[in-house]
């Protein structure tokens, strides 16, 4: 049987590990399986491999290796930044500022903290999905201990004014954390220039392995531990190091940094081609998120009179992998909290489609996706009573 070609345009959900990444990891499953904490020489190479990955990652952020702490991924890093800060600064204050469009790893952690005596302000965003700096300034209180605003949004790709947020946080002596899971490896990030105190990233979003990530913590900031146990990660994060994962993440970070400029240019061009054609050729469609201040690989649309899940199923039949809302919310019928925060009506937000490109996607693939998308949208509208009514009324 001929295998159906898969066109993968869901790189915001996860990415394939690059062959070089897998190759770098393999020896650490077998020959080099030692525990980095062991005393004998056999394990010392593993300590070196972990240090090397830490150094590579630190250099991509313009910081020191000792500020990088490995975790089991973006969710753990986000949990640690919020809960760790909340616990260590509880005497100073119990107010946290974040936004309405954060990933659930932030939002659900913030809700957990609210249940435990903390106060959280969820900033609104404008119609493009960007927070208003005046809102941020106004929401700061004497007991505010943390501002956590994502670098770039996982659904609509919008990039926040991180430098300005960092400046405001610094002026008020408040810690600033950013969930950079989507941005790290896609955009240049300098934690010094941007005044970032803590930053979360995850391996599987940058062609690295799943289940590994890191939290950057500026030197001098004391976070309470999330995980207690052994003395790994300078006694800040217990658990035997995921050596293959760490090595893979280091390799992925190195490759991402090396290829970044080229990828940004290529993906931006392809993204703009996709966006321009869809908006021009499919009526009653809109782009979600800022037109330019967005990740180079992100396109997110709403199609009126169409239901997102049906669209995904029909695209899947053509071998196309996209998403509606985010991977975490699909399966639920509620429209995405991000699209709702943009002020879209529910019925419009339900017709959303996110296509996120990767380095291997081609113009031919984009053409194929657009052709299929046009016929899918047509087909679904032809079965939609709301569309029929709309057309009838507009012809009177």
Ligand X SMILES: *Cc1c(COP(=O)(O)O)cnc(C)c1O
Q: Which residues are catalytic?
A: 328
| Shortest CB 295 distance to ligand X, Å | 10
Rg over alpha carbons for the chain, rounded to the nearest Å, is 22
Smaller CB distance to ligand X: residue 329 or 372?
329
Nearer to ligand X, 203 or 308 (CB): 203
Estimate the share of the chain in helix, then strand, then coil, as percent rounded to the nearest 5.
45, 15, 40
Collect contacts of 137-143 with beta carbons under 8 A, ≥24 apart. 137/168, 139/97, 140/97, 140/168, 140/172, 140/174, 141/93, 141/95, 142/93, 143/92, 143/93, 143/94, 143/95, 143/119
Query: Residue 154 CB, nearest distance to ligand X (Å)?
Result: 4
Angle at 329 between CA 272 and CA 117, to 5 degrees: 115
- Which stretches of the chain bind ligand X, using CB under 6 A? 73-75, 78, 103, 105, 150, 154, 179, 181-182, 202, 205, 213
Q: Is 115 exposed, middle or buried (0-12, 13-18, 19+ CB in 10 A)?
A: exposed
Bridge partner list, 112: none
Between 75 and 300, CB nearer to ligand X: 75
3-state class (DSSP) for residue 144 = strand
Q: How far is the CB of 205 from ligand X (least distance, A)?
A: 6
CB of 187 to ligand X, least distance (A): 13
Q: Which two tokens stand for residue 293?
A: 């201040």
Nearer to ligand X, 298 or 361 (CB): 298
Give the C-alpha separation, 206 to 57, whole Å.
12
**In the complex with ligand X, which residue's Cβ is closer, 74 or 308?**
74
Q: Which residue has the tokens 């260590």?
A: 88
**Residue written as token pair 């005044």:** 195
CB-based contact 82:109 (threshold 8 Å): yes
Minimum distance from residue 211 beta carbon to ligand X (Å):
8
Instruction: Identify which of residues 70 and 303 has a Cβ nearer to ligand X in the complex.
Output: 70
Minimum distance from CB of 70 to ligand X (Å)?
12
* Number of residue whose CB is nearest ligand X: 74
């Amino acid at each position: 049987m001929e295998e159906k070609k898969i066109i993968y345009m869901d790189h915001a959900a996860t990415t394939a590990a690059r062959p070089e990444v897998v190759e770098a990891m393999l020896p650490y499953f077998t020959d080099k399986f030692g525990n980095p904490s062991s005393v004998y020489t056999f394990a010392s190479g593993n300590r070196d491999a972990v240090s090397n990955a830490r150094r590579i990652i630190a250099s991509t952020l313009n910081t020191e290796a000792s500020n990088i702490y490995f975790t089991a991924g973006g969710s753990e890093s986000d949990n640690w930044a919020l809960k760790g800060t909340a616990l260590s600064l509880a005497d100073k204050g119990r107010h946290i500022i974040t936004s309405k469009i954060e990933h659930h790893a932030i939002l659900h952690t913030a809700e957990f903290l609210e249940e435990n005596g903390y106060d959280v302000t969820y900033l609104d965003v404008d119609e493009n999905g960007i927070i208003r700096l005046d809102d941020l300034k106004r929401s700061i209180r004497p007991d505010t201990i943390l501002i956590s605003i994502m670098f770039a949004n996982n659904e609509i790709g919008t990039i926040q004014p991180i430098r300005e947020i960092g400046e405001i946080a610094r002026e008020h002596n408040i810690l600033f954390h950013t969930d950079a899971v989507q941005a790290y490896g896609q955009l240049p990030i300098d934690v010094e220039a941007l005044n970032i105190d803590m930053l979360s990233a995850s391996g599987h979003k940058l062609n690295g392995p799943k289940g590994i990530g890191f939290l950057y913590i500026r030197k001098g900031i004391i976070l309470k531990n999330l995980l207690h146990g052994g003395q790994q990660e300078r006694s800040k994060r217990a658990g035997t190091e995921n050596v293959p994962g760490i090595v893979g993440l280091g390799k992925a970070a190195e490759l991402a940094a090396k290829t970044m400029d080229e990828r940004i240019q290529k993906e931006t061009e392809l993204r703009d081609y996709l966006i321009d054609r869809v908006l021009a050729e499919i009526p009653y469609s809109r782009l979600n998120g800022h037109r330019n201040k967005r990740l180079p690989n992100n396109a997110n649309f709403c199609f009126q009179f169409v239901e997102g899940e049906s669209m995904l199923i029909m695209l899947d039949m053509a071998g196309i992998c996209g998403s509606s809302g985010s991977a975490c919310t699909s399966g639920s019928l509620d429209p995405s909290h991000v699209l709702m925060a943009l002020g879209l009506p529910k019925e419009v937000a339900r017709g959303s489609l996110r296509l996120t490109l990767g380095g291997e996607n081609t113009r031919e693939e984009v053409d194929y996706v657009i052709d299929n998308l046009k016929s899918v949208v047509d087909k679904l509208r032809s079965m939609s009573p709301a569309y029929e009514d709309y057309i009838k009324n507009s012809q009177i």
